[in-house]
Amino acid sequence: MLLYMRGVNRELPLFLVGLTFAAAEGGARLHLSPLLVSLAAGALIANLDEREGRRIHLAIQQAGLPVFALFFAAAGAGLKLDALVTVGPAAMLLVALRGLAIWAACRRFAPTEDPRLKRYLWMGLISQAGVTFGLAALVSRTFPSFGPQVEVLIIAMITAHELVGPVLTRRALLGSGEIRAEEAGGGA
């Protein structure tokens, strides 16, 4: 990938989409998870060449919308919502426990130089998604006996985090004085 970026240096978003398909096909034949291969490749490039890592990030943003739309459509089509009745209460309990653990860890381990960190950092760490959706789908495919229920549990948790996380992040930014209410698009 770095050789292509340094040598050819054209149509990087298209190249990345093609490389993703190649990773998926090659990964299946080699019994490797394309998701984990891509994650490892991205981490490696970002650490080997920070400038190229930023270029890849920008290219993924440019090509990402149709890819993400297809991914979420496929993930949603395979989702067993009847399992939500079973795993919903467990998902909410895990969401609450995760939130409490993040809050406690931030209160205990946040740097002391800025007291706002101990008070507000946890709010910015609640949202999660991204690779977690892919890992949930991987669990479902790998363990067909119980994987679909685990996938629904994980997606229910992510959904709750994505609903609450941005609100908490905004409150943290306002409360810490990093932004004013006018900048955030409304009153406090």
DSSP calls for 58-117: HHHHHHHHHHHHHHHHHHHHT--THHHHHHHHHHHHHHHHHHHHHHHHHHHHS-SS-HHH
Q: Which of 95, 9, 24, 7 is nearest to 56 (CA)?
A: 9
Residue 86's Cβ-side half-sphere holds a number of Cα atoms within 13 Å equal to 11
What is residue 8's predicted lDDT score, i.e. its pLDDT? 83
Q: Which of 53, 47, 71, 48 is nearest to 16 (CA)?
A: 53
Q: 54-60, long-range: CB within 8 Å, 24+ apart, which pairs? A: 55/5, 55/12, 56/1, 56/5, 56/12, 56/16, 59/12, 59/13, 59/15, 59/16, 60/13, 60/16
Going by C-beta distance under 8 Å and a sequence separation of 6 or more, which residues neighbour residue 153? 83, 87, 90, 91, 94
Across 75-98, b (16+ Cβ under 10 Å) vs e yields beeebeeebbeebeeebeebbeeb
What is residue 165's predicted lDDT score, i.e. its pLDDT? 84
Query: What Cα–Cα distance (Å) separates residue 10 from each residue in 5, 41, 49, 69, 140?
Result: 8, 20, 18, 24, 37
d(CA 130, CA 152): 15
What predicted TM-score, i.e. pTM, was given to this entire model? Answer: 0.56
> What are the tokens at 95?
């969401």
pLDDT in 10s for each residue of the chain, 188 residues = 778 877 887 888 888 888 888 888 888 888 888 878 888 888 888 888 888 888 888 888 887 777 777 777 776 676 667 777 788 888 889 989 999 999 999 999 988 888 888 888 888 888 777 678 778 888 888 898 988 888 888 888 888 887 888 888 888 888 888 887 766 665 44
> What are the tokens at 11?
């149509």
